Structure formats: structure tokens, C-alpha cells
């Protein structure tokens, strides 16, 4: 009740003495002696003037629509602000991304990295539905505001840089519009307690969303991105494409969305503007997902998750960018070793099948290996990242030199030895198959993968020796 009376008093004084409502409100609510004395002095000085009602300046509420409107899907995210589940994307016959899954929580800082053309920008556009996906889903938590910086400027806008940059401040503009309507209602119903209550509530909301500091916010962002004070009132058409992109970035930052999606935001920025952007985003309260090649940006905003688009897959690393570089190398090394080991095994199995498949005495074992080969889950070859391992120098086998007497002795013992080797090979292959299954189960546990790979390499070495001896004995018998 007291708040409403004070609001009514401030409006009535504003109308009676043609004084700005905001100044009167500040003086009345801040009832220190010096403020009240200053208010009394100002009112006395106006008593001889004719009272003339003054109306607030009208504001522009319409916004220029983006050339390609975003249309994200909102739904159950299990507590996350964004949930992507088994998302697959393609361009014609070419797969871009397969079965991508991750979650973004409130306040996360997510960096999206990968080679040029890998599909990083495509992932962002799929999240906001400016392009369709083949399967899976990307769902955003209901009531979340989403901001998306695409790589197109604000060409076509005839607004000033200032008006364009501030055109996305929806919360402030909505609160300002409510405040204007409440002021008009009080003017029409000067003694209405309901109108006074609405005005007090509207004023409180306006302050809460930062309406009173709107101009300072706009100036801070424009100045930080490199605009001079005299540039603020220039039309967007007077700026080059790069500077228009800065205006688009300013508009997005000032809209303060809950989920901020940035696609290469530093492309048109100089060093000073880049440094300012890093400091601004570091203090940003919402969730940030940024596609960039700038290590300084990824480290500066303290990313806690890195998404790497590589080999048509999305690799999720829950760590900083610097730790990601180390962990990625370990993962790639382990994957490369697993791939190479499996290729050697496939080659051995196929060689046995080709060599003994037609022999009646070996048909059963050859058929067993064929089934083993068919059931094997083939590991995809790593393509896009250099593993950093030293190159291997492969030399041909030296010519075998054996004496005839030794050959004759081996020929006599060959059948029994082959029978024994076949049993040992079967046991080793079972052990290797079990290790392969364990490696798949361990997934991204790098330490466990290294340990399993070490065991597998040792067993594979023993298996290779047995195969070599077996082939030698078969040659002797043939």
C-alpha cells in the first residue's frame, strides 16, 4: 500500500510540475534529507510555470526477422538444458554425422572442434532446426531462450548500429512496454490503487531485468567489439560485411539467451575485440556452445566439455581443451592399435580359410574360422587424426637356410607338431577374441584399453609364431 501511494505521488508530481518520472521516483523512494530538499527546490522553481503533461518516448518493439528462422524442438531433457540423442545427419549420399549423443547442463561451456568440413556448423544448425536431421533428436528444455549466431551479417537492415544491436533485448523491451502501459493507465485513472499497484510492479520488473542500465549495456558491447562512439548512430548499410557481423554478434550478446550457440564468432574480430569477447563470455551466466578454431577462446571461457567431430562421429570429452588434446591422443593411439591388431587377425583368418578351406582334413577348422570372421565386429579405420607414432620400417623376410638333414627330421615330426599347433592356435584365438570383447566393453577407459592392448599384443605375437611354424611345416610336407 505504501509503495502504491509513493508511485501515485511521483506520477502526480510529474504531471503537475513537468518533472521526469524517473527522477521523481528516485528522490521519493530515496528519502534522505538532501534528496528531499533537492526535490522540493525543483518543485518550487516550477510553480510559476504552466503544468504540462509529458509522455515517455515511444519505443520500437518490432524486430527484423532472421533470414532463416530457428525452430528448435522443446521437450523433456532429463534435467539438461539441451539433450542430443543418436543424431544422424547427411548431405545427399554422404554421411556427415552418425549417432551423435551428448547433454549440455545449465552453465556449461562447450567447445565444438574438428577439421574444416567435418560437420561442426551442421551440428549447430541441426540443434536449432535450420536443417533437418535423418534420425535421432535434439531437444531443448522448455522455457529456454535460444540465441544462434549464423555466418550471415545484418545486410538489408536500415537501422542504426545502436538500434540493430539493441533490437534483441526482448526482456527489457517487454518490461518497458508494460511500464509504458502502466504509466498510461495511471494517467487515465490518477487515483486508482489498482493502476498504482500495476505501475509499481511494472517498475520493479523493469529494474529487475536491467532496464535502467540498458544504454550502458549497449554501449559496453558495441565499444568492446570495436565501434567508436560516432559509429553508434550510423546506418548498418554504411558498414562492411565484417562490421555488420560484429553488429549481429552484439545483437545476440545483448539478447542474453539462456543457451548461446556461436559459430566461429571471432572470424571478423581483431585481437582487441577477441580479447574483449573472451572476457565477456567468461562472465556470461547462460550456457555457451561455440564452434571455433581459436584455442585462446576455448581456454579463456574455461570450457568444461569438448565435442570433437571426427570420422563422422561425435567424440565427447568432459574436460578442458588442454586436457582434451592429451586424452584425444591416447584414445586415437588405442583405437589405431586395436584396428591394426584386428586387421592382422582378419588377415590370418582369411589366409587360413583360403589355404585349407578346400582340404578335407582342415575343412572343419577352416569353416570354424570363417564363422569367427563373419561374427567379428569390424573396427573402423581411424582417418582424420595423425597418431604421432613413429613410422615402421617393414623389411622382407630373409631367405630361410636349412640343411637337408634337419628338413628330413622335421618332415617326420610334422604331422604330430601340426596337430599340437592347431590346438594351441585355437586356445590363443579364443583368448584374443575375449580381449577384443573386453576392449569394446571398456569404451573410453584409456588405462584399461592400454592394459588389454598390451596383453593382446603379447598373445598375437605368440599366435603369429605358431602360424609361421605351421605354414613352414605344411610347406615341408607338400
Residue 64 gets the label, from left (phi > 0), alpha (psi -120 to 50) or beta, of beta
**Run of H or E residues at 441:** helix 404-442
Residues 349 and 263 in one domain: no
Q: Are residues 158 and 255 in the same domain?
A: yes
Predicted pLDDT at 225 = 95
Contact 322, 309 (CB under 8 A): no
The whole-model pTM stands at 0.62
Q: In what order do the strands lie in the sheet with 259-263?
A: 146-149, 259-263, 287-291, 109-114, 305-310, 313-317
| 49 lies in the same domain as 84 | no
CA 290/CA 276 separation, integer angstroms: 16
Instruction: Please name which of 66, 78, 96 lies closest in space to residue 139, comparing C-alpha atoms.
Output: 78
DSSP-derived secondary structure letter, 94: E
The residues, any chain, with a CB within 8 Å of residue 312's CB and separated by 6 or more, are 95, 96, 97, 98, 119
Task: Let me know whether 263 and 316 are in one domain.
Answer: yes
**Residues 251, 351: one domain?**
no
Q: Which of 295, 323, 351 delimits the end of a domain? A: 323
- Rounded to whole angstroms, the Cα distance separating 54 from 24 reads 13
For the ranges 293-297, 442-446, 468-472, the one whose mean pLDDT is highest: 293-297
295 and 151 both lie in a single domain:
yes
Residue 335 lies in a domain: no
pLDDT bin (cut points 50, 70, 90) of residue 478 is low
Residues paired with residue 263 on neighbouring β-strands, in sequence order: 291
267: CATH: 3.40.50.300
pLDDT at 395: 63
* 64: in domain: no
Give the pairing type, strands 305-310 and 109-114: parallel
pLDDT given for residue 398 in this prediction: 63
Q: What share of the chain is helix, strand, coil (3-state, %, to 5)?
A: 55, 15, 30
d(CA 80, CA 141) in angstroms, rounded, equals 7
| Pair 209, 172: CB distance under 8 Å | yes
**136 near 86, Cβ under 8 Å?**
yes
| 294 and 411 fall within a common domain | no
Which range scores top for mean pLDDT: 182-196, 318-332, 458-472?
318-332
Based on the domain organization, do 155 and 288 belong to the same domain? yes
Please determine, for residue 37, whether its predicted confidence score (pLDDT) is greater than 50: no
Cell 570495436 identifies what position?
A: 226
**332 within a domain of the structure (yes/no):** no
Q: Is residue 362 predicted with pLDDT exceeding 50? A: yes
Does 212 fall in a domain? no
pLDDT tens per residue across span 398-433: 665 554 544 555 566 777 887 888 888 878 888 887
Overall domain count for the chain = 3
Of 301-310, 377-386, 454-463, give the range with the top mean pLDDT.
Answer: 301-310
Residues 50-91: pLDDT tens digits?
A: 333 332 322 222 233 443 578 899 999 999 999 999 999 998
151 shares a domain with 25: no
- Position 197 in a domain: no
Does residue 204 sit within a domain?
Answer: no
CA-based diameter of the chain, in Å?
A: 133
Same domain, 393 and 267: no
Question: What integer best gives the mean pLDDT of the chain?
Answer: 78
Query: By the 8 A CB rule, do 334 and 453 touch?
Result: yes
Higher pLDDT, 468 or 325: 325
Predicted local distance difference test score (pLDDT) of residue 193: 83
- For the chain, the C-alpha Rg in angstroms (whole number) is 36
* Neighbour count for residue 266 (Cβ, 10 Å): 19
Structural domain includes residue 185? no
List the alpha helices (DSSP H) in 59-211.
Answer: 120-127, 161-166, 170-188, 193-208
- 83 within a domain of the structure (yes/no): yes
State the residue range of the domain holding 281.
Answer: 74-165+240-323
- The whole-number pLDDT of residue 383 equals 60
What's the pLDDT at 401?
A: 54
Q: Which residue among 323, 352, 377 closes a domain?
A: 323
Answer whether residue 222 shows pLDDT above 90: yes
Task: Give me the pLDDT at residue 67, please.
Answer: 36
pLDDT at 392: 53
Do residues 144 and 284 share a domain? yes
Residue 462 has pLDDT above 90, yes or no: no
pLDDT-based confidence at residue 268 (cuts at 50, 70, 90): confident
Q: Is residue 348 located within the same domain as residue 319? A: no
What was the pLDDT predicted at 433? 79
Q: Is 273 in contact with 185 (CB distance < 8 Å)?
A: no
Structure confidence at residue 10 (pLDDT): 53
Residue 223 CB coordination number (10 Å): 15
What distance in Å separates the CA atoms of residue 272 and residue 453, rounded to the nearest whole number?
Answer: 48
User: Is it the case that residue 264 has pLDDT exceeding 80?
Assistant: yes
> Stretch 163-177: mean pLDDT, rounded?
88
Q: What does DSSP assign to residue 293?
A: S
- 3-state DSSP call for residue 259? strand
Amino acid at each position: 500500500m505504501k509503495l502504491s501511494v509513493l508511485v501515485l505521488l511521483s506520477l502526480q508530481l510529474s504531471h503537475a510540475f513537468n518533472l521526469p518520472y524517473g527522477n521523481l521516483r528516485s528522490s521519493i523512494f530515496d528519502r534522505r534529507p538532501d534528496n528531499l530538499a533537492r526535490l522540493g527546490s525543483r518543485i518550487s522553481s516550477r510553480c510559476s510555470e504552466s503544468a504540462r503533461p509529458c509522455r515517455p518516448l515511444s519505443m520500437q518493439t518490432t524486430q527484423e526477422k532472421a533470414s532463416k528462422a530457428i525452430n528448435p524442438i522443446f521437450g523433456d531433457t532429463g534435467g539438461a538444458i539441451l539433450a542430443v540423442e543418436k543424431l544422424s545427419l547427411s548431405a545427399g549420399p554422404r554421411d556427415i554425422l552418425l549417432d551423435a549423443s551428448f547433454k549440455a547442463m545449465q552453465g556449461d561451456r562447450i567447445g565444438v572442434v574438428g577439421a574444416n568440413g567435418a560437420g561442426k556448423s551442421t551440428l549447430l544448425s541441426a540443434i536449432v532446426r535450420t536443417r533437418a536431421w535423418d534420425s535421432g533428436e535434439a531437444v531443448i528444455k522448455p522455457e529456454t531462450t535460444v540465441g544462434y549466431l549464423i555466418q550471415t551479417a545484418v545486410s538489408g537492415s536500415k537501422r542504426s548500429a545502436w538500434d540493430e544491436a539493441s533490437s534483441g533485448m526482448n526482456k527489457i523491451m517487454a518490461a518497458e512496454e508494460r511500464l509504458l502501459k502502466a504509466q498510461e493507465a495511471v494517467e487515465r485513472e490518477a487515483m486508482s490503487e489498482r493502476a498504482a499497484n500495476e505501475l509499481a510492479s511494472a517498475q520493479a520488473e523493469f529494474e529487475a531485468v536491467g532496464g535502467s542500465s540498458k544504454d550502458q549495456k549497449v554501449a559496453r558491447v558495441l565499444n568492446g567489439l570495436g565501434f567508436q562512439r560516432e559509429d553508434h548512430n550510423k546506418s548498418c548499410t554504411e558498414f562492411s560485411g565484417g562490421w555488420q557481423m560484429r553488429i549481429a554478434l552484439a545483437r545476440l550478446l545483448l539478447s542474453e539467451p539462456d543457451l548461446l550457440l556461436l559459430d566461429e564468432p571471432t572470424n571478423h574480430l581483431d585481437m582487441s575485440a577477441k580479447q574483449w569477447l573472451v572476457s565477456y563470455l567468461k562472465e556470461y551466466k547462460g550456457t555457451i556452445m561455440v564452434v571455433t578454431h581459436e584455442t585462446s577462446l576455448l581456454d579463456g571461457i574455461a570450457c568444461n566439455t569438448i565435442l570433437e567431430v571426427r570420422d563422422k562421429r561425435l567424440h565427447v570429452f568432459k574436460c578442458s581443451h588442454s586436457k582434451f588434446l592429451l586424452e584425444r591422443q591416447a584414445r586415437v593411439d588405442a583405437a589405431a592399435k586395436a584396428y591394426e591388431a584386428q586387421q592382422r587377425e582378419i588377415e590370418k583368418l582369411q589366409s587360413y580359410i583360403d589355404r585349407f578351406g578346400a582340404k578335407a582334413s582342415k575343412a572343419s577348422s577352416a569353416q570354424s574360422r570363417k564363422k569367427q570372421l563373419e561374427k567379428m565386429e569390424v573396427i573402423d579405420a581411424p582417418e582424420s587424426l595423425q597418431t604421432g607414432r613413429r613410422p615402421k620400417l617393414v623389411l622382407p623376410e630373409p631367405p630361410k637356410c636349412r640343411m637337408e638333414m634337419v628338413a628330413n627330421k622335421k618332415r617326420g615330426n610334422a604331422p604330430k607338431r601340426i596337430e599340437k599347433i592347431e590346438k594351441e592356435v585355437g586356445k590363443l584365438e579364443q583368448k584374443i577374441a575375449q580381449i577384443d570383447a573386453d576392449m569394446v566393453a571398456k569404451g573410453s577407459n584409456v588405462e584399461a584399453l592400454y592394459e588389454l592392448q598390451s596383453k593382446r599384443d603379447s598373445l598375437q605375437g605368440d599366435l603369429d609364431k605358431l602360424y609361421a611354424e605351421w605354414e613352414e611345416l605344411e610347406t615341408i610336407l607338400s
